[in-house]
Amino acid sequence: MRKVLLAGALLLGACAKDRGPIVVGVTGPFSQPRGVSMQRAAQLAADEINAKGGVRGRPLKLLFVDDSGSTDVAVRVAEGFRTNPEVVAVIGHLTSGTTIAAARVYGSGSHPVVMISPSASSPDLSGLSPYAFRVCPSDLLHGPELARFAVQTLGARRAGIIYINDDYGRGIRGTFATEFRKLGGVVTEEDPYLASTASVEPYLAHMQLHGGVDVLVLATDRPGAELGLKNLHDAGLTWPVVGGDALTGIEADGALAEGVHLSSAYLPDRPGDRNALFVANYARTYEGQRPDHRGAGAYDILYLLAQAMSDAGTDRAAIRDYLASVGTTRPPFDGVTGRIAFDANGDVPAKPVVIGVVHGGRLVTEAAK
């Protein structure tokens, strides 16, 4: 009798689990401005999916954990998600450094779990783990696109680069410099920046002393770019400024950032009904705010995961295998950021990069300003 009761209890527990929420981990620097849109958009997607009945009749539950943008914290977060049997997949991390540090953790052990980043762009992530994916282009596209824009649109022949000395900054610096030189340009100098750097004025003075530049590349994060723009303004220099997608959000600085150009996989004014609806829903839910590429990427990832789980179930390995087939044996996924088709390295090589410009306090597509 006791065996029958125990078997019945186990069956009820299994049924309850099958009817319970599907847990997806979401991690990024949520306590920092760059993580806000990612967190908000992921929750918006979950709310929309749940309002339509969830996945196979089960609601999605997002487990948010702040990685503080720290590689050490990211590794601990990854270990926590991987060893939590309720977590079926992970959205994150946001930055290249944290994503690279955590990728091997997610793919290790007897029960690896898939990780999809909305915005980690370092080339070093490619093929790092069969359980690591991203929905954004790598710096192999960002840097060259910025170089082509600098030469073909700005007419630049001399460039100076200030870069944050991490995976992201070195990636943008290297790929920009290679393409810029290939197009006949000269990179006069490449100077490193750290979060503790109080001023980049000495770099600017050195560039000016040696004839100035036609374009200043700020391959930094937003705080580094704000510092560079302030020092540039204080020095009375009017060099055109370009940078990568980590500068997103700098449009909030108003006149200081006016005219800055940056590369991105997504801008809110991207054409298409699906994106227009997403931007409108985001603005309605979050008091007039606009999503950035990190948020749009997270939004697409959750919808992609929902499709994967609807078709293949919630087993971790099944989800991973489904994602690996998107764009090859399965059709690409059409999201608000465009078409997602993974290659063997977990990358989206066909995803284009666009150039945006800060105009009137907003970040808009260069051609649409």
The CA-CA-CA angle for residues 271, 276, 280, to 5°, reads 155
Q: Which residues of 298-323 are buried (b: 16+ CB within 10 A; e: fewer)?
A: bbbbbbbbbbbbeebebebeebbebb
Four-residue CA torsion sign, 214, 220, 221, 226? negative
Q: DSSP letter string over 252-281?
A: GGGGGGTT-EEEES--TT--SHHHHHHHHH
CA gap 53, 35 in Å, rounded: 28
- Residue-by-residue pLDDT tens, the chain, 369 positions: 444 444 444 444 444 456 799 999 999 999 999 999 999 999 999 999 999 999 999 999 999 999 999 999 999 999 999 999 999 999 999 999 999 999 999 999 999 999 999 999 999 999 999 999 999 999 899 999 999 999 999 999 999 999 999 988 999 999 999 999 999 999 999 999 888 889 999 999 999 999 999 999 999 999 999 999 999 999 999 999 999 999 999 999 999 999 999 999 999 999 999 999 999 999 999 999 999 999 999 999 999 999 999 999 999 999 999 999 999 999 999 999 999 999 999 999 999 999 999 999 999 998 755
Among the listed residues 86, 135, 82, 119, the one whose alpha carbon sits nearest the alpha carbon of residue 104: 82
Q: How many CA atoms lie within 13 A of 229 on its CB side?
A: 24
Q: Identity (one letter) of the amino acid at 336?
A: V
Give 166: exposed, middle or buried? Use CB within 10 Å, 0-12, 13-18, 19+: buried
CA gap 179, 183 in Å, rounded: 6
CA gap 286, 301 in Å, rounded: 20
Cβ neighbours, 10 Å, residue 70:
16
Give all domains of the chain, ordered by start, each with its CATH number. Answer: 2-137+271-351 (3.40.50.2300), 140-264 (3.40.50.2300)
Report pLDDT for 6: 42
Report pLDDT for 196: 87
DSSP 186: E
